[in-house]
């Protein structure tokens, strides 16, 4: 956190460049050097996120109330991003849960939907209802903002990619294409694809929004500007 007593011309002076960069990411600003004190300041700038992707948990990781809460918040998030961040495109990985809920929210908010399909048989084990929802939303996606891998989940005989590798590959491509990331992440769940995607977003210096579905009984604490802290490097 910045030191409120270390200020120059009313603005916080950060002790290190890394601290300034971390604060700049949090508030969606940029770092500049003060000509008066030669220290690092954070300058707020108009925030525009034309393309936003989402990553988040699948339904089995959420309680029934948390699922309903998340779906409602994702629609509100899409509308807020449209109105407050100038978002026009929403990218989805099209997995069950957060991904499809976000895809639906993107369409309902009047944004352009992009589909990032990780493998050719993504819906092979899904129920009929889930598959129909995937197909409905997939048909609404704009090819100009989409990606589709033609490799099956378990790979081909002459290729060594595994399912998790394909999922990570999809996430990296999607986050690279986005200006910001909306993550639906249960605080403290330091494993799984969502956690890996959050760390990828940090590596790519993407800003974002954190929606914590475990806080569904306390909505004021459920949504925060900025991504959760990244994994500590050994």
Q: Is residue 231 part of a domain?
A: no
Residue pLDDT, tens place only, 25-47: 666 567 777 666 666 666 666 68
Residue recorded with tokens 């300058």: 43
Say how many domains are in the chain. Answer: 2
Structural domain harbouring 34: 7-44
Q: Is 122 exposed, middle or buried (0-12, 13-18, 19+ CB in 10 A)?
A: buried
Q: What's the pLDDT score for residue 4?
A: 39
> Across the chain, what does the average pLDDT equal?
88
- pLDDT (tens digit, 9 = 90+) per residue, 63-118? 999 999 999 999 999 999 999 999 999 999 999 999 999 999 999 999 999 999 99
Task: Give the strand order in the sheet containing 51-56.
Answer: 147-148, 112-117, 89-92, 51-56, 180-184, 208-211, 223-225
pLDDT band at 15 (very low <50, low <70, confident <90, very high): confident
- The pLDDT value recorded for residue 118 is 95
| Whether residues 95 and 169 fall in one domain | yes
| 149 and 92 together in one domain | yes
Residue 187: pLDDT above 90?
Answer: yes
What is the pTM for the complete model shown? 0.81
């Amino acid at each position: 956190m910045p030191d409120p007593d270390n200020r120059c011309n009313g603005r916080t002076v950060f002790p290190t460049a890394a601290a300034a960069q971390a604060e700049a990411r949090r508030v969606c600003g940029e770092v500049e050097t003060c000509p008066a004190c030669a220290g690092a300041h954070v300058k707020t700038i108009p925030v525009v996120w034309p393309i936003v992707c989402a990553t988040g948990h699948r339904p089995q990781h959420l309680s029934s109330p948390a699922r309903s809460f998340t779906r409602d918040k994702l629609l509100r998030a899409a509308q807020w991003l449209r109105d407050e961040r100038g978002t026009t495109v929403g990218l989805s990985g099209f997995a069950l849960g957060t991904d499809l809920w976000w895809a639906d929210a993107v369409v309902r908010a009047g944004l352009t939907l992009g589909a990032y399909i990780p493998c050719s048989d993504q819906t092979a084990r899904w129920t009929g209802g889930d598959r129909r929802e995937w197909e409905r939303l997939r048909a609404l996606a704009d090819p100009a903002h989409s990606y589709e891998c033609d490799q099956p989940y378990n790979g081909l005989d002459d290729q060594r990619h595994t399912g998790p590798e394909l999922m990570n590959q999809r996430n990296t491509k999607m986050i690279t294409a986005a200006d910001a990331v909306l993550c639906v992440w249960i605080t403290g769940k330091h494993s799984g694809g969502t956690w890996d995607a959050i760390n990828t977003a940090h590596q790519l210096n993407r800003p974002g929004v954190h929606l914590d579905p475990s806080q569904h009984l306390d909505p004021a604490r459920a949504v925060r500007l900025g991504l959760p802290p990244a994994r500590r490097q050994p």
